Amino acid sequence: MQKIKVLIVDDSALVRQMLQEMLSSHPQIEVVGSAHDPYMARDMIKQVHPDVLTLDIEMPKMDGISFLKNLMRLHPMPVVMVSTLTEHGADVTLQALELGAIDFVTKPKLNLAQTFESYTTEICNKVIMASKVTRGTLERQYTRFSNNQLARPKVESSPATISEKYDADVIIKKTNVIKKPRYAETIIAIGSSTGGTEAIKEILMRLPATTPPIVISQHIPAAFSGPFAQRMDSVSEMTVHEAKDNQPILQGHAYIAPGDKHLLIEPVGGKFICRLNDGPPVNRHKPSVDVMFRSVAQNVGNNAIGIILTGMGADGAKGLKEIQEVGAPTIAQDQKSSVVWGMPGEAVKLGAADFVLSLDQIAYKILALASK
């Protein structure tokens, strides 16, 4: 089997060495070179023809964002960003995903003794996944970015946990829910992972301020969910928040789960509130889409609309089925418009999706379903 060729771009010799050791430990991956700045990387791309690039954000001579913009315009290829867990690092990483980077990992710590295995698993999985993304997908992503830039002057995945893999029962027990009468208030529930930050943006940009409330679980580190919510608020007519415990759920507002908490929906006095849960990861993710979807199915019933977007793995597929089983409409993003057709693909296999739609159709379907 042909190995995935990876080029590492980072200004730190130590980080380059660490990344090379981690990636080279996987039998499917071959590190074909490393570059200390974008100019050297540009020349090496022509020489070694890598399948995937790992790219540092902050480098001398040219920053990672400027290099990525040129790369996606002239020679689109899969890129996994290497980011710092800071507010600035989060904002710049979200810009990189906007430009077409497939995913990101956080900068490895110098002392990896306790987390080496989990970090190696994460970065290898993301490189392998990135290698499967087609050039057409990258070109479509960059085209969307370019069009959005013209229209507005004005952004995954949480590291996998190697602990026992829990399902949603560890947070919220499944009950035999009877289909409920339709309430006055609709709640829209969206789950996503790899590629989801941009998919969520494309949907929120198309929704008016009168849209029913939206709850969102996106696989993202805790340091990134706040900046992500701020970024979404700046491009949407809706008001977008990083969800807080006991926060009322209101029309025209969207609530994004914090990157280290599960988001549940709870009825209180005829209204709904956000409830944050600090329990263990579910499907190795926190927040988990399955947890949020089960909460929506059991508490909102057939007044919900469930949507699963691009993402690696299967988190959310079973939960979407539970939403469907209580009589609520469900949507899965189609394969062509997904960066990774893992989560929505699994939902389709389960028969959990009433509608399988391209990304640019989903906002319109939401409004049509909510008006019924």
Cβ–Cβ < 8 Å for 308, 333: yes
- Rounded Cα distance between 368 and 109, Å, is 48
- 26, 36, 219, 285: which is the annotated catalytic residue? 219
- 10, 51, 315, 334: which is the annotated catalytic residue? 315
Active site residue 219: yes
In sequence order, the 6+-apart residues with CB closer than 8 A to the CB of 358 are 333, 334, 336, 337
- 158, 193, 337, 338: which is the annotated catalytic residue? 193
What is the distance of C-alpha 41 from the center of its chain?
27
Helix orientation angle between 87-99 and 135-151, rounded to the nearest 10 degrees = 110
Active site residue 131: no
DSSP 4-69: EEEEEE-S-HHHHHHHHHHHHTSTTEEEEEEESSHHHHHHHHHHH--SEEEEESS-SSS-HHHHHH
- Rounded Cα distance between 185 and 272, Å, is 9
Cβ–Cβ < 8 Å for 303, 277: no
Helix orientation angle between 64-74 and 87-99, rounded to the nearest 10 degrees = 10
Active site residue 193: yes
Give ∠ CA 172-225-15 in degrees, rounded to 5.
Answer: 115
Catalytic residues: 193, 219, 315
